[in-house]
Structure 1
Amino acid sequence: MPARVGYTSLLRTPRAWTFLLPAFAARLPYAMLSLGIVLLVEQTYGSYGSAGAVAAISAVAQALVGPQTGRLADRFGQAAVLVPTVLVHAVSVGALIALALGHAPLWTLFVAAAPAGATIPQIGAMVRARWVAKLADQPPGYLNTAFAFESVTDEFTFVVGPVIASAIATGVSPSAGLVAEAALTVVGGLAFAAQRRTAPARHPRVPGTGRASALASPGVRLLAGTFLGVGSVFGGMQVSVTAFAGSVGQSDLSGTVYGIFAGGSMLAGACYGMVSWRRAARQRMLISYALLVLGCSTLWAMPNLTALAVAGLVCGFAIAPTLITGYTLVESLVADGAKTEAFTWLTGAIGLGLAVGSTVAGMLIDAHGAWTGFLVPVTGAGAGLVALVTLRRLLVAPGAASRTVAKGGAGPQQQLARVGEG
């Protein structure tokens, strides 16, 4: 069982703040891009279905290309990948804004949305990889707390990001939210890339040898599949909350309601990281995911925006524990040279689930009304739970049994592997 480690002890890690502060600014855009696209396209084209489809193209591109950038970061270093990525992202978002405001054919927005999503910086995965490198000589409890801290930070960005995007888009102009997103990406991304002293070591390819993708691990594939379900919750909620708020004449509150949902997750994540858990990580994953499905099952029946905010808060309580445990498990399933890639596959799976969720929710809303969009989160999460229950045996790390019974003298990598065992 990992020792309990407080957040204060974790944040005293030398030079941690030098990468955490720019990382926060650089990861805010991840929470702003999809909602910014939805708000812009819905205002200019008058269709939630079209808005969801453009956001979906962006998210699909991020899900497919993101893990490849993670793999390149493992091989060549994070800065070498980040600098060109954020610059291309800013140009792509600018093109998307210009096309939408010019009422260009919808397919041209798809063309611009693809590179915009593909180049969203994978800051969350890169920060987690930095924590793994920084804490290699510390007890496993430090890594548990670090992943909890990162999940809380992710959720805080999903509290702040949608509120910022919604407030700017409704208070200034539909395009202003995406302008702010692109600016934060460039400034935060370049500042994070400049912190080279805290970056993990590169793992260049050795001539004459191959390197298996992190996705070669069955456990990583299962976790990616379950994170698809979590992504469908995010995507379905974003579009459905926006549509529901619009249907009751309170469009300006959509970002706030979605922020409350993310706030529930942030609160749960903060508490989760302060507990010394006796249950194995696999068991905790099953419990938190089942609670997520239960929470999502009530969303469609909420009669007003206040009730929806409360239901979203309760639903959000299960998000962070699920994500923290998933990242903890995946870290134990792959070798050192594939950590960033593995984390990025999970992040990408969330993005892909978000894409599917927002598209299906948009289509249901256009055809049958705002409430039907809330059927997407419970369906996606339910499918993920079935997969998790059926294939949970795949989440055992290779050689876990031998590490569990090992006595004194275990090295840092053996200690880190025990994190996934609970």
Structure 2
Amino acid sequence: MASTVPGTTPPARRVGYGHLLRTPGAWTFLLPGFAARQPFAMLTISIVLLLRHTTGSYGTAGAVAAVTGVSMALFAPRSGKLADRYGQSAVLVPGVLIHAAAAALLTTLALAHAPLWALIAAAVPTGASVPQIGPMVRARWAAVLGDGAPDASGARPDHRPLLATAAAFESVTDELTFVIGPVLATALSTGVHPSSGLIAEAALTLVGGLLFAAQRRTAPPPAPVRADARERHASALSIPGVRVLAVAFLGIGSVFGGMQVAVTAFTQEHGQPGLNGVLYGVFAAGNMLSGVACGAIAWRVSPRRRLLTSYAALALVCSTLWAVPTPLPLGGLGLLAGLCVAPALITGYTLVEALVPATSRTEAFTWLTGAVALGQAAAVTAGGRLADGFGASAAFTVPLIGTALALLTVVSLRGRIAPHGATAIRDEHTAPDARPESLRTADTS
């Protein structure tokens, strides 16, 4: 590991996953939350496989899948803000019911060979209603570990060292769904029926979402109504560092979406469609393995440097995917790409938690999740059209372009996610008029 960043104190030794999972009440929201997370891993590829079967076009399939991603990206922050304001259950229960109905409608229309406009019309509520379980779980961890609730003796234990471990654990959980979800969706869609993947996704969302919503004891309390209307309605996206991280997550979404379409086209070209889920699962397994490692390391490198390093490595690996001739080296490069994704995701979530006040946590997390969905949607659309017109190799250029542009943006604006930015933001939400002039200037630069 690198040496300590000048001017900082070496961090305390990282508390392990075992300690984290012994947090009272953790398993009551982790298990149903895992089931309800499947939409993010299964939805896009299930739609692509179903519509590729019914329409014969990757472009059409990608366009409809992209609409679900854009809808998710646009509505997720609003959902997160409502969850912060009114509580998670108040948002989740109607959301999962709408999602199950919309996914069933989309499946029916696809099997009936409905026109594109009808498929898109059904795709909008399907994506908009995807439950934001990942951000909600992260908000629960932050509430349990970061707020220092008093114990039986009245003391307030400092659980903050566990927050980084929780961020890593959540990334591992996300990536585990990306190991299981695409493989499950592909197996059901190719081995049972083309619609089976989307049906299973809706069922898991409904059951898992309702069980998760029932765990009210561990949910963060709704934000109190403030007299200052401007502060109450301010968006987490107004924070400069959150915007920079959202761009970084857009690039990561381009990797997810581009890989899904390109790998599907690649295995079709090589006459081995059954390898689709396996190859994408290898990519996701790399994410999971590096996520486990990130949570086990007591980092002495600043989060900003970790983000820049892992993102540069991701862009480098993505630059080679288009030239892969056979499935075996693609699996190896996919594994390397996955190993680079998790550190960037974990560090991004760790940074954003320091940039926003507690009352906007869920919304801030959903901006990042929504950015991934938006990047994924754009990549699915572009990748589908490139695969139709030029083949799988052309589709693999989408992750390259997405990560390269995002890396350029993050490097150029890296000052916005520096530690002093977190201090400025916290001051902005507590005593804006008392901030030093230098910090007020930094916020507007």
TM interval, shorter chain, is over 0.9
1:52 aligns with 2:57: no
2 CA distance for matches of 1:226 and 1:173? 36
1:20 aligns with 2:30: yes
Find the counterpart in structure 1 of residue 20 from structure 2: 10
The alpha carbon displacement at 1:208 in A equals 5.3
1:261 aligns with 2:283: yes
RMSD: 1.3
Find the counterpart in structure 2 of residue 194 from structure 1: 214
1:140 aligns with 2:150: no
Find the counterpart in structure 2 of residue 182 from structure 1: 202
**Percentage of matched positions with identical amino acids:** 58
Find the counterpart in structure 2 of residue 285 from structure 1: 307
2 CA distance for matches of 1:121 and 1:320? 22
The alpha carbon displacement at 1:209 in A equals 2.1
Find the counterpart in structure 2 of residue 168 from structure 1: 188
2 CA distance for matches of 1:402 and 1:142? 24
1:203 aligns with 2:223: yes
User: Per-residue displacement from partner, 1:306-336 (whole Å, max 9, x unpaired)?
Assistant: 1111110011100000000000000011111
1:99-138 alignment runs, 5 A limit: 99-136=109-146, 137=148, 138=158
1:213-252 alignment runs, 5 A limit: 213-252=235-274
Equivalent residue of 2:13, what SS? coil
TM-aligned CA distance change 1:278 to 1:176, over 3 Å? same
Equivalent residue of 1:202, what SS? coil
1 CA distance for matches of 2:383 and 2:348? 25
1 CA distance for matches of 2:93 and 2:302? 39
User: Per-residue displacement from partner, 1:129-165 (whole Å, max 9, x unpaired)?
Assistant: 0000000223422000000000000000000000000
**What TM-score results when the alignment is normalised by the length of structure 1?**
0.94
Q: Which runs of 5+ in 1 are unaligned?
A: 404-422
Give yes or no for contact 1:333–1:398 (8 Å, CA) kept in 2: no
Find the counterpart in structure 1 of residue 71 from structure 2: 61
Give yes or no for contact 1:38–1:51 (8 Å, CA) kept in 2: yes
Q: Report the AA paired with residue 148 of structure 1.
A: A
The equivalent position to 1:37 in structure 2, one of 47, 52, 59, is: 47
1 CA distance for matches of 2:192 and 2:168? 35
Q: How many residues align?
A: 403
TM-aligned CA distance change 1:205 to 1:402, over 3 Å? closer
2 CA distance for matches of 1:124 and 1:208? 30
2 CA distance for matches of 1:158 and 1:336? 28
Give yes or no for contact 1:3–1:140 (8 Å, CA) kept in 2: no
2 CA distance for matches of 1:70 and 1:399? 23
Q: Report the AA paired with residue 215 of structure 2.
A: Q
Deviates more, 1:1-10 or 1:179-188: 1-10
The equivalent position to 1:344 in structure 2, one of 342, 366, 382, is: 366
Find the counterpart in structure 1 of residue 353 from structure 2: 331
Find the counterpart in structure 2 of residue 307 from structure 1: 329
2 CA distance for matches of 1:253 and 1:30? 21
1:87 aligns with 2:109: no
User: Per-residue displacement from partner, 1:334-368 (whole Å, max 9, x unpaired)?
Assistant: 11110000000000000000000010011111111
2 CA distance for matches of 1:55 and 1:399? 36
User: Per-residue displacement from partner, 1:216-270 (whole Å, max 9, x unpaired)?
Assistant: 1000001001110000010000000001001111111101110100000100010
Find the counterpart in structure 2 of residue 418 from structure 1: none
Give yes or no for contact 2:260–2:380 (8 Å, CA) kept in 1: yes
Equivalent residue of 2:217, what SS? helix
1:394 aligns with 2:420: no
Q: Which runs of 5+ in 2 are unaligned?
A: 1-10, 149-157, 426-445
The alpha carbon displacement at 1:205 in A equals 3.0
1 CA distance for matches of 2:40 and 2:398? 21
Find the counterpart in structure 2 of residue 411 from structure 1: none
TM-aligned CA distance change 1:279 to 1:251, over 3 Å? same
2 CA distance for matches of 1:171 and 1:206? 54
1:331-410 alignment runs, 5 A limit: 331-397=353-419
Find the counterpart in structure 2 of residue 412 from structure 1: none
